[in-house]
Amino acid sequence: MTKQYDVVVIGSGPAGYVAAIRCAQLGFKTACVEKWLNKENKTVYGGTCLNVGCIPSKALLDSSHKFVEAQSHFSAHGISLGKVAMDVPAMVGRKDKVVDQLTQGIKGLFAANKVDGIAGSAKVVASDRVVVSGQDGVQEELLAKHIIIAAGSVPIDIPPTPIDQETIVDSTGALDFQAVPKRLGVIGAGVIGLELGSVWARLGAKVTVLEALDDFLPAVDRQLAKEAMKIFNKQGLELKMGARVTGSTLSKAGGKSVTVKYTDQEGEQKQTFDKLIVAVGRRPFTESVLDASVGVELDERGFIKVNEQCATNIAGVYAVGDVVRGPMLAHKGMEEGVMVAERLAGKKTQVNYALVPSVIYTHPEIAWVGKNEEQLKAEGVAFNVGTFPFAASGRALAANDTDGLVKLLADAKTDRILGCHIIGASAADLLQQVVIAMEFSASAEDIGLTMFAHPALSEAVHEAALAANGHAIHIGNRKRRT
Ligand code: NAD
């Protein structure tokens, strides 16, 4: 049987479900096809972010942070507890409940907005036609005026460490350990490696991160990356830079441990772990989504080629989120989903790709937007730097959480804010006020002239902005760079 729609969205991750809801809100008859099955073999919406990404990792990060607070920091507040223990299956069970609540929530949003959720694996077979294969092997055809591909991404496997989801796991397996591994290896000091490494290190694992690159967090402002390295080392994360993994051997006794071979400056090394997380990046998932006859172009890395408005080379076919160029971030995909929906309705919506915030949800968090010092220097832009350490924030001291700093970069001639880089508690939320300011082309002085509630962590942003113009009240530091 053939069903007819105005819009068919493939994938219900953040890019896809948001695109589908916005399309339906704008009056399009919309379907969203999803193939994701949960542990009970039931179709669930939400894609990687809700099922095995952003949300479950944050649930574990929050649980493990509370554990560290209770174990190591409550005493500073005069709170004494007996022996603090973590029930790992209970922690993982709570994470599963959070995931379940949110994926069910999308089902509810689809119903409220009259989006048809369709279970199965979708393939674009023509610019106006999608074939959906159900779990039972039954196929149905959907006719669509417009198709939005939001099929997401999958973890990259590397031949030296084949995933078995027992001893060698990817980011999905690392969310479901039922006990704290004594020795945990992590390959890749990227966002996933640091977040998941932090979870298990907080609970007592001896964590070693093997990173092929010599530079730590190359996309992050150097001053913040250095500060982050210091803090993570203090927290007990062992970060081995310039360590390229070349092989692995599971132990003979039931594969309960793995010995990893890697090369570093000193030559070939070996280290044995009880669990190994492979977090070396993700790749776009496009292989079974597009029939080659449709003619949608991919780039050399397998991303679907799109223009600034997420249109592919084939009229009527769009692609958003992790399957297209740009950072693999849920919020970037969501905004692309909204943009495509609104453009289909004749609006002129455009994502501002210059202002995509990035966050690493370690403790402290690392968050940034716009340009960093190194980029501005390379571009020959003259700029002022205002910094403010949380150690000088009354609110951070009161909370006993003083690691980190705010760094704000402003154009030396116009004072327009060019970037903001924060490492500290609640950095993601603090950064957002600067993202808004930058969206309105604000100057550092605009933030300086704004009244901030006292005492609050956000005052550190105020002080960094004042510091950029050389008149911080409390400590802030200004440098001029040309
Ligand atoms: P990543 O690209 O951030 O980091 C992977 C790291 O692995 C790199 O530093 C790379 O040099 C290293 N590496 C690659 N091969 C190696 C080898 N053989 N030996 C040692 N090191 C090696 O990738 P990720 O952390 O897997 O994350 C994947 C994607 O998911 C990213 O695009 C990220 O933005 C996204 N993500 C975002 C968040 C967030 O926003 N908080 C959280 C999780 C994931």
DSSP string, 380-421: T--EEEEEEEGGG-HHHHHHT----EEEEEEETTT-BEEEEE
Query: Hey, whose CA ends up nearest to atom 9 of ligand 1?
Result: 190
Residue 31 lies in a domain: yes
Please name the residue ranges forming H helices in 145-221: 191-202
pLDDT at 235: 94
Instruction: Provide Rg for the chain, Cα atoms.
Output: 24
Q: Given pLDDT bands bounded at 50, 70 and 90, which one contains residue 254? A: confident
State the average pLDDT over residues 431-436: 98
Residue 179 lies in a domain: yes
Residue 162 lies in a domain: no
pLDDT at 476: 63
Residues 342 and 375 in one domain: no
Per-residue pLDDT reduced to its tens digit, 111-145: 999 999 999 999 999 999 999 999 999 999 999 99
Ligand 1 atom closest to the Cα of residue 53 is: 43
Residue 10 lies in a domain: yes
pLDDT at 287: 85
State the average pLDDT over residues 228-241: 96
CA atoms lying within 13 Å on the CB side of residue 387 = 17
Residues 15 and 119 in one domain: yes
Residues 47 and 68 in one domain: yes
Residues 46 and 150 in one domain: yes
Residue 358 lies in a domain: no
Per-residue pLDDT reduced to its tens digit, 34-71: 999 998 999 999 999 999 999 999 999 999 999 999 99
Instruction: Detail the DSSP E strand segments found in 212-348.
Output: 238-240, 244-250, 258-264, 267-273, 275-278, 282-284, 317-319
Residue 189 lies in a domain: yes
pLDDT at 479: 72
Task: Tell me which of 226, 246, 280 is where a domain ends.
Answer: 280
* Residue 477 in this model has a pLDDT that exceeds 80: no
Residue 43 lies in a domain: yes
Number of domains in the chain: 3
* Residue 420 in this model has a pLDDT that exceeds 90: yes
Residues 408 and 470 in one domain: yes
pLDDT at 475: 77
Residues 349 and 371 in one domain: no
C-beta separation of 231 from 424 below 8 A: no
* Residue 465 in this model has a pLDDT that exceeds 70: yes
Our answer to whether residue 454 is catalytic in this structure is yes
Query: Hey, whose CA ends up nearest to atom 28 of ligand 1?
Result: 281
Q: Return mean pLDDT, the chain.
A: 97
Write out the residue range of the structural domain in which residue 395 sits: 364-481
Compute, in angstroms, the gap from residue 11 CA to the centroid of ligand 1: 22
Residues 150 and 176 in one domain: no
CATH number for the domain harbouring residue 425? 3.30.390.30
Residues 129 and 187 in one domain: no
Mutate to test the pocket of ligand 1, among 282, 359, 361, 423 (most ligand atoms within 8 A of CB): 282
pLDDT at 474: 87
Residue 204 lies in a domain: yes
pLDDT at 482: 57
CATH number for the domain harbouring residue 32? 3.50.50.60
State the average pLDDT over residues 275-280: 98
* Residue 481 in this model has a pLDDT that exceeds 80: no
Residues with CB under 6 A from ligand 1: 158, 187-193, 195, 210-213, 244-245, 279-282, 327-329, 359-361
C-beta separation of 459 from 389 below 8 A: no
Q: Which residues contact 66 (CB under 8 A, 6 or more apart)?
A: none
Residues 24 and 129 in one domain: yes
Q: Given pLDDT bands bounded at 50, 70 and 90, which one contains residue 388? A: very high
Active-site residue, from 77, 146, 454, 462: 454
Residues 150 and 256 in one domain: no
* Residue 269 in this model has a pLDDT that exceeds 60: yes
CA-CA distance, 126 to 123, in Å (whole number)? 9
Nearest to 341 by CA among 303, 311, 296, 373: 311
Residues 436 and 405 in one domain: yes
Residues 148 and 201 in one domain: no
